[in-house]
Amino acid sequence: MASDQRIYRASTTAPVNIAVIKYWGKRDPNLNLPTNDSLSITLSQSDLRTHTTASCSSTYRASTPSDSLLLNGKTEPLTTPRSIVCLRSLRALRSKLESENPELPKLSTYPLRIASSNNFPTAAGLASSAAGFAALIRAIADLYELPQDPRTLSVIARQGSGSACRSLFGGYVAWDAGVREDGLDSCARVVASRSPWPEMRALILVASAAQKDVSSTAGMQTTVKTSGLFRQRLEDVPRRMKEMERAILMRDFETFAEITRRESNSFHATCLDTDPPIFYLNETSKMAIRAVEAMNKEAGMAVATYTFDAGPNCVIYYLEMEWNFIAAKLHVALKGKEGWPKGSMSDLSGLRMGNERVEEGLNSGVSRVIMTSVGEGPISVQDHLIDEHGKPV
């Protein structure tokens, strides 16, 4: 039989997710199993997404015999233990299909060539590893024509990066920590699609696009070993999960807002209680917290809430109908920043926040703003980052 010279390709885009109940701590670092359940909101891919093409061919053996990755135009290793585990699991599923049907091309034996690009800064605390692994897993699963459902794929993605398992779904997504030692029940599930609460919005204040100081992986390991507050947190999370799921299903923004901000503060307090302490928030982050508090106080209700991942960028969740009020309060601080609406809002400065220290802090510390909403899970696309000859485009 003539050897198979074809170039096989599949492409996908995958979203970022920002947790409102944080994953922080591993009960099994090898299998990447978490100490607690978590819950996140998948953000729209129009604003934040990873685009990945997975390709394989027997012809790649001649030039690049091993698997290769081009990330934002730079060659990166696909030999980290996490990538290896993910690729091995996907190949095993493909190989099973091939042994059941000998007519299938033996894609599982070909080197993989992956190209991936983000439309936002990598490792800036904007959950790039989540979108990255979700896109990688989905693209290879499509390339291999695997019949597995997203829940099964989320078990694989989890081993690449914990938060990635949630990026395989759109809307409001929980990651159940699971109890099994093999981790097969530690995967994501949809709490609600984006449609029941379409008014939810996210305003991201980018306070730093630099790579973070302490990686999440290293940081959470030290927290588990050294923080007493962490143990307290583990007791609080199950109740918060229940209340959060209820708040989302009931569209109860007041409860959603309270749990979100308290969760974020509890997570960052735990970081500070780690020895040596981990600081993800900076002065700009604190000004963002003050700004949200001031808005809520003036409104006499929760119009917005905030959360921070392992970095200083502030994610403000709010409901669309409150936008005019929020925009008026933040306009003086953020006007002229990339991503902030231009023009017609100039009349808003009369309704400003009135706290100059906060306004100046945000003005000097925020580099850009991303206004986005709740989005869907990975999307298969025909726009390939590797051409029909196997070359990056």
Residues that bind ligand DP6 (CB under 6 A): 19, 22-24, 32, 38, 129, 161-163, 216-217, 309-310
Whether the CB-CB separation of 115 and 385 falls below 8 Å is answered with yes
Cα 155 to Cα 88: distance, rounded to the nearest angstrom: 13
**Shortest distance (Å) from residue 34 CB to ligand DP6:** 8
Nearer to ligand DP6 by Cβ, of 61 and 88: the residue is 88
DSSP structure string for 77-117:
-S-SHHHHHHHHHHHHHHHHHHHH-TTS--GGGSPEEEEEE
**Shortest distance (Å) from residue 70 CB to ligand DP6:** 21
**Shortest distance (Å) from residue 225 CB to ligand DP6:** 15
**Shortest distance (Å) from residue 115 CB to ligand DP6:** 22
Give, as one character, the DSSP assignment of residue 162: G
Cα 133 to Cα 84: distance, rounded to the nearest angstrom: 12
Nearer to ligand DP6 by Cβ, of 189 and 335: the residue is 189
Nearer to ligand DP6 by Cβ, of 53 and 163: the residue is 163
Whether the CB-CB separation of 282 and 312 falls below 8 Å is answered with yes
Nearer to ligand DP6 by Cβ, of 309 and 359: the residue is 309
Helix H or strand E segment including 265: helix 253-272
Cα 161 to Cα 216: distance, rounded to the nearest angstrom: 10
Nearer to ligand DP6 by Cβ, of 44 and 163: the residue is 163
Cα 214 to Cα 212: distance, rounded to the nearest angstrom: 6
Separation of CA 276 from chain center: 26
**Shortest distance (Å) from residue 22 CB to ligand DP6:** 4
**Shortest distance (Å) from residue 307 CB to ligand DP6:** 9
Nearer to ligand DP6 by Cβ, of 143 and 220: the residue is 220
